[in-house]
Amino acid sequence: MEKHAKGAGPLRKAAVSGYFYPKDAPGLNRLLGSLLDPKSEKKKARAVVSPHAGYVYSGSVAGAVFSSVELPDLFVILAPSHRPIRPLFAAMNDGLWETPLGSVPVSVELAEAILAESKSVVSEAAAHAGEHSLEVQLPFIQFLRPDFSFVPIAVSPRATYRDLEELGGAVASGIRRTGREALIVASSDMSHYVSKAEARVQDFKAIKKILALDPRGLFDIVQADDISMCGFQPVTAALVAARILGAEKADLIAYATSGDTTGDDREVVGYAGLRIL
């Protein structure tokens, strides 16, 4: 287990607690306990795809996918930036991330290994300020595996397929350089603000490409068919990395829409949870 200097580096305070998920530890633990199943059969995975909406909407899907895999003590979390950021890929190579369940250290070892593999990945903590798509993944992991470290990487919507191929290669090479097992988490919601029927049609076009381990196919179909999948670029990079690391198949663990919670199917957001083995 990698050692960390407690308090070293920047502290990234929780930005969306009390909004996307409960702000107090007891309330958050109760909710996570209802969304996660520690007794679920788990498989060793290279990567997962997990949604990032408020837990009331997508928490059941995120809980199902995290419950379905063995969790190592090291993660790379790739998440879309919903705000403009300067670099294509903004990492943190030091510091701590805070949630109501405690602080999670950034893996200096893995971050430096990834940064060494790609000039497009730069250390810029400011790119993570206020962004929810990565933060909301952490409590699920903390509940199941409290002792872990990770590398946060925010992905710009400007990234081309070639850029994402480079990112995926850097993540895979960085993991290999550490000689340790790591799980890649790609944060993404699916279709946004379309009918439930349309969301299902559009979302399963993308899901089919993920199940086929086809990063280029995913990137192309999202753009060609105008699928409003906000994290398709992180998922594309995760697929590239997972394939390099030996992934051979993928499973759809859960699918839902916001309409399942609100009862309004006229305008929904889709959520998919997948594991890549």
CA angle, residues 195, 198, 199, in degrees to nearest 5: 80
- Mean pLDDT, to the nearest integer, of 82-98? 96
User: Would you state the pLDDT for residue 2?
Assistant: 46
**Does the structure show a pLDDT above 80 at 1?**
no
* Separation of alpha carbons 231 and 129, rounded Å: 18
Distance (Å) of CA 254 to CA 11, 100, 151, 199, 217: 33, 26, 25, 15, 21
What residues contact 225, with CB distance under 8 A and at least 6 apart?
202, 205
d(CA 154, CA 152): 7
Residue of 210, 244, 241, 205 whose CA lies nearest to 224: 205
Confirm if 138 and 86 have CB atoms less than 8 A apart. Answer: no
Residue 21 pairs in a beta bridge with: 17
Q: Which tens digit of pLDDT belongs to each residue from 243-268?
A: 999 999 999 999 999 999 999 999 99
Percent of the residues in the chain that have a pLDDT greater than 90, as a whole number: 95
Per-residue pLDDT at 153 exceeds 80: yes
pLDDT at 8: 65
How remote is the C-alpha of 101 from its chain's centroid? 18
Domains of the chain: residue spans and CATH? 11-276 (3.40.830.10)
